């Protein structure tokens, strides 16, 4: 074994060197393939004599590294990230544009109905909160909520909570029940809060605190709900595909949305933690929130439309998702 190692050590070292090298010339690539074949034969011989030796393990690792050079990754991590943000994510978001707007419209109508009801009906307001509780909520609790904790930790908590809600909307949307429940419960909560402020004649305070972060935060929730409904509809109406195939394609495409919304909600959380409770003028704080929302829709309607028209849908590439069988 020692004699065999002494004769072939230079080849093994050269293979290790080529396999670890960042870029290979054409000549080096040919040499890598030739050495890979030769060292594979060496490893077979060594395993027949000493299968559990350290040399056997070392050569196996070297061959595995060499194999990835000519059969391995198609692209590097940065290229995959670029494709995700420039192609896959905007295309998936663009597909949901009209459904997102529909979810947003339903949310606003429900919230407005609750706000109008509580703001104009003393009996309905008393059923929700006593006069003292409503006064404390308007004058202390609502505004204090945004500043009672350090901005960084508050932003992190908000981000985590909203990302979890969005992930649930996407993952559990297939049930057909979860998304309407999330939309209704959140719209109800916002509508009740707006109604309490309207009854106290302080709607301006409510909107000055809810709009800076709420414009983007609620839009992200609408997008997540739209993704969940899209997966549900793929099961109800799969078209020419089998139901399993339709749900798989939509699920892969729209889980992309859930990943993207983590970053969108991170930005929204920063606004809620640092901008909403700040002493800046209300118009300026709302302007920051509107700018974030405008940046999102520009990203979706410009980059997303371009990717969508190029045939992208946010799904994995064929080599990652697996090729589909032709079926009637």
Q: Each residue of 104-154: pLDDT tens digit?
A: 999 999 999 999 999 899 898 888 888 888 889 888 888 888 777 677 777
Residue 128, φ and ψ in degrees, nearest 5? -90, -45
In Å, how far are 67, 100, 164, 200, 296 from 306, measured between CA atoms? Answer: 37, 19, 30, 48, 15
Long-range contacts of 195-198 (CB under 8 A, 24+ apart): 195/114, 195/115, 195/116, 195/117, 195/118, 195/119, 195/124, 195/125, 195/128, 196/118, 196/125, 196/128, 196/129, 196/134, 196/137, 196/138, 197/138, 197/142, 198/115, 198/116, 198/118, 198/119, 198/120
* Residue labelled with tokens 């700018």: 291
- Place 323 in a pLDDT band, splitting at 50, 70 and 90: low
- Place 99 in a pLDDT band, splitting at 50, 70 and 90: very high
- 98 vs 44, more confident: 98
Residue 310, φ and ψ in degrees, nearest 5? -80, 0
- Mean pLDDT across the stretch 178-182? 91
Nearest to 179 by CA among 166, 189, 191: 166
- Place 187 in a pLDDT band, splitting at 50, 70 and 90: very high
Structure tokens of 206? 């409510």
- Mean pLDDT across the stretch 50-67? 82
Output the CA angle 267-270-273, nearest 5 degrees.
150
Helix axes 26-49, 2-20, angle to 10 degrees: 140
Q: Measured between alpha carbons, how far is 323 from 221 in angstroms, rounded to an integer? A: 32
Q: Measured between alpha carbons, how far is 250 from 245 in angstroms, rounded to an integer? A: 9
pLDDT the model gives residue 324: 58
Who contacts 152 (Cβ-Cβ below 8 Å, separation ≥6)?
273
pLDDT digits (tens, 9 = 90+) for 211-261: 998 899 999 999 999 988 988 988 888 888 788 877 877 877 777 888 888
pLDDT the model gives residue 4: 85
Q: Are 3 and 52 in contact (CB under 8 A)?
A: no
- Place 75 in a pLDDT band, splitting at 50, 70 and 90: low
Average per-residue pLDDT for the chain: 85
Q: Measured between alpha carbons, how far is 135 from 103 in angstroms, rounded to an integer? A: 32
Q: Measured between alpha carbons, how far is 143 from 128 in angstroms, rounded to an integer? A: 19
- Mean pLDDT across the stretch 83-88? 84
In the chain, where are the structural domains located? 2-71, 79-318
Following DSSP, what letter does each residue of 285-308 receive, concatenated? HHHHHHHHHHHHHHIIIIIIHHHH
- Alpha-carbon 181 to chain mean position: 21
Q: Tell me which of 57-71, 109-123, 192-206, 296-310 is least confident.
A: 57-71
């Amino acid at each position: 074994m020692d004699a065999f190692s002494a004769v072939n050590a230079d080849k093994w070292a050269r293979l290790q060197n080529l396999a670890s090298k960042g870029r290979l010339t054409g000549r080096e690539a040919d040499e890598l393939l030739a050495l890979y074949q030769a060292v594979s034969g060496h490893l077979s011989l060594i395993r027949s004599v000493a299968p559990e030796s350290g040399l056997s393990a070392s050569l196996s690792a070297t061959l595995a590294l060499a194999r990835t050079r000519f059969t391995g990754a198609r692209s590097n991590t940065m290229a995959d990230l670029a494709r995700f943000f420039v192609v896959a994510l905007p295309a998936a978001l663009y597909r949901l544009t009209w459904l997102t707007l529909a979810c947003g419209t339903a949310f606003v109508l429900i919230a407005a109905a609750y706000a109008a009801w509580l703001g104009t009906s003393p009996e309905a307001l008393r059923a929700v909160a006593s006069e003292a509780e409503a006064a404390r909520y308007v004058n202390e609790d609502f505004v204090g909520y945004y500043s009672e904790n350090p901005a960084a930790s508050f932003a992190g908590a908000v981000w985590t909570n909203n990302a979890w809600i969005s992930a649930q909307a996407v993952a559990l949307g297939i049930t057909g029940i979860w998304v309407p429940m999330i939309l209704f419960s959140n719209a109800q909560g916002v509508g009740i809060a707006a109604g309490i402020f309207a009854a106290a004649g302080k709607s301006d305070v409510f909107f000055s605190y809810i709009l800076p972060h709420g414009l983007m935060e609620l839009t992200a929730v609408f997008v997540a709900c739209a993704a969940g409904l899209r997966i549900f509809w793929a099961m109800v109406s799969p078209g020419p595909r089998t139901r399993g195939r339709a749900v798989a394609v939509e699920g892969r495409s729209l889980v992309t949305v859930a990943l993207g919304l983590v970053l969108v909600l991170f930005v929204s959380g920063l606004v809620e933690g640092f901008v909403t409770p700040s002493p800046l003028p209300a118009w300026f704080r709302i302007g920051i929130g509107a700018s974030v929302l405008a940046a999102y829709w520009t990203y979706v309607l410009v980059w997303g439309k371009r990717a969508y028209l190029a045939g992208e849908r946010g799904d994995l590439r064929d080599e990652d998702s697996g090729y589909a069988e032709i079926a009637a």
